[in-house]
Amino acid sequence: MRLSGFTGQNLTYKVVTVVDEPFVIKTVKQDGTIEWSGFSIDLLKILAKKINFQYEIFEGTAYGSLQKGENGSMVWSGMIGDIVSGRADFAVSAMTVTPQREKVVDFTKRYMDYAVGIVMKKKPAVSNLFSFLNPFHKTVWYSIIAGLIVVSLLLYVLNRISPKRIRGPHYHDSSLHGIFWFVYSSLVQQSTDMYLVTMSSQIVIGVWWFFILIIVTLVSSYTANLAAFLTVTQMEKSISSFQDLADQTEMGFGTVGNTSIYDYLKFKSELDNELNSFWSKLWKGVNASQIADANDGFRRVTDSGRKFAFLWDVPIIEYKILNDPDCSLTTVQSSIFEKGYGIAVRRGHPIRDFMSMEILELQDKGDLVKLKNEW
């Protein structure tokens, strides 16, 4: 593809990246060579093919933030620092477009919008051998058992003491065991015959059948509730929002240092002068946790036993939850810091505009949505 006014075709550019699944995935083969894949890498391949340029990828240390240098001046670290210093032409990963970064590098158009969410470990489901009793209150169960015993004993006594007792057919068991089985089968709506020869026993069993007729609706309710209890795990979330996370003290939380999220929380806390405000409490928790990278954050969530929550990009959190082999991770619906991902380019580089046009074209065609669904 020939681009008018662009002379950088057929050139090889240096691209810096950091591993952040599913946007950038690093695979080391047996021969020692490195294979790069992921959403952002596939997007880079598409842009390279459309604009006709080559690239060489090398791994950076972090996304980058402003830090004090050796001489006391503020310098950029990470991938942003690599672009500013000229070590890299592009930075490709889950790179957030922020006003601070745009002062020193250029960004393409956003290729994905995102926000910051919370990932934590699920509350373990407690298995109970007697969970089938949960649909009814224990008082209901006690009443049913008591009714079953009382009616069985009453029928047995009435059949024994009645002067008009007539022996039934030989296949009818009039013993206490047989009467109990008859009363129980009536309760569960099964068919078992019993030879009742006295008016009193017929009245008793008639009352029992009427009792069963009343609890038929309870039986229907029981089966429906039992299915819900056995198939749906009742997960009680103690944390359902960022406000809940900031207000509690039992669970630690944090995010990766020297990232846009980290800088954003620090900036918001500095703007808020109140010591116990939402942003101050959130920054206090984040500042107390030292997390090297995203993998370290997710590892701490998995190994903490519901003692740590990780603040990170929602698309990456969703990817981790869907690909968690133990299905042990969960998230919340609320989010903060709504931004977007873009490709960072050396300031003033003409290829930025051509990349942006190609990204917009991919968005119009729906190719970016297809690429997202693949990952």
Tokens of 202: 């017929």
What count of residues does the chain have?
375
Tokens 């009435």 correspond to what residue? 158
Nearest to 248 by CA among 332, 160, 368, 359: 332
Q: What residues have CB less than 8 Å from 2, skipping those under 6 apart?
A: 9, 52
Element (H, E) at 66: strand 66-68
Which residues are paired to 179 by β-bridges? none
96 annotated binding-site participant: yes
Measure the CA–CA gap between 84 and 101, rounded to whole angstroms: 10
CA distance 63 to 355: 20
The answer to the question of whether 260 is labelled as a binding residue is yes
CA gap 271, 274 in Å, rounded = 9
| Residues contacting 142, CB < 8 A, separation 6+ | none
Beta bridge partners, 344, equal 91, 107
Task: Report whether 331 belongs to an annotated binding site.
Answer: no
Q: How many CB atoms lie within 10 A of CB 81?
A: 23
Binding residue numbers = 96, 101, 260, 313
Q: Which residues are annotated as a binding site for L-glutamate?
A: 96, 101, 260, 313
